Amino acid sequence: MLLSAPITFVGGKGGVGKTTLAAARGLTLAGQGRRTLVVSTDPAHSLGDALERDLGDEPVEVAPNLWAAEPDADAAVRRRIAQVADDAQDAVPHEIMPAVHRHLKQAGSSPGMAESALADLLVDRMEEVGRRWDALVVDSAPTGHLLRLLNLPTLLTPWVLGLTRQRERAARAEAFADVVSDRGPDMAEDPLLKRLNERRHRLEHAAVLLRRDSQVMLVTLARRMVLAETARAVEQLSEAGFVLAPVVVNQIPEPGAAGPDTEEALRATRERFAGLGTVELGLRTNEPTGPEALREIGEALPG
């Protein structure tokens, strides 16, 4: 199952070990000779700590066939705002540009802007799979963020389509208002309309890639509260049409060392995810960081 899709999202509740397993998965794929990129979409980046390397926006090679990146969400927002301002400069009257800049400044701090900007960066990386990369592993933020991130292309596409239609109507009105010319509206030269259409096509393509070429590997712990959140994520992702890999149950104590609550939670986890299957990883005495320790974990994963 874990070999069936070139794109793997690793998700789960905060603190379950997503970053460690994403890095381990990437090293396993790289060891098979695949050009693999591991990218973090968690604003609280720790992928570089796991790999013991300094990471940034652009992928850097951290091991043979393995690259890693930690995109800066704030920088991505600033780039997007600058791009919109440049497009507006050529499409709206000069006298209203100050109002446009004020609006963009407010939009830059609005809720969801960072997630949307990270989603754009992620789409860029997804579109590189098959050309620049053979495999992509995404170290996702906690479950709620992962669900929003995966659903964002589907949610945004109708909104962008609505903006496109509004812009088309505005362009037609401007053209027909010009009574001295019988020339029809040249909307192909409208930079805002061009950008909206490009974004719509990218989002539509991303929605296809997310369901056709991707899988979600959820990580959980043998604890009832974590089990409940993982179960909700499985239901929501399944209903949305995403392919799910076996659930990884991480940090399981040695036999005899677990208390009755942990053992009961482990039994409940096995039963709850019997249809998907589970992969069980033991609790380690030392925190696994660096390629050598991570490769050992990757070998315990199926595939």
Radius of gyration of the chain (CA): 23
| Whole-number pLDDT of residue 230 | 94
In 3-state terms, the chain is what percent helix, strand and coil (to 5)? 55, 15, 30
The residue range of the domain holding 97 is 7-300
| Whole-number pLDDT of residue 65 | 97
Given a contact cutoff of 8 angstroms between Cβ atoms, the answer to whether 30 and 67 are in contact is no
Is 281 among the domain residues? yes
The residues of the chain scoring below 50 in pLDDT are 1-2, 179-180, 183-185, 187
What is the tens place of the pLDDT at every residue in 33-63? 999 999 998 777 899 999 999 999 899 999 9
Location of structure tokens 């990883």: 281
| Whole-number pLDDT of residue 9 | 93
10 Å CB burial of residue 286 (0-12, 13-18, 19+) is exposed
Q: Domain of 119: which CATH number?
A: 3.40.50.300
> Quick one: three-class SS letters along 118-161?
HHHHHHHHHHHECCCECEEEEECCCHHHHHHHHHHHHHHHHHHH
Is 2 among the domain residues? no
Number of domains comprising the chain = 1
Given a contact cutoff of 8 angstroms between Cβ atoms, the answer to whether 68 and 51 are in contact is yes
| Whole-number pLDDT of residue 156 | 62
| Whole-number pLDDT of residue 157 | 65
Is 1 among the domain residues? no
| Whole-number pLDDT of residue 173 | 65
| Whole-number pLDDT of residue 102 | 72
What is the tens place of the pLDDT at every residue in 119-130? 788 888 999 999
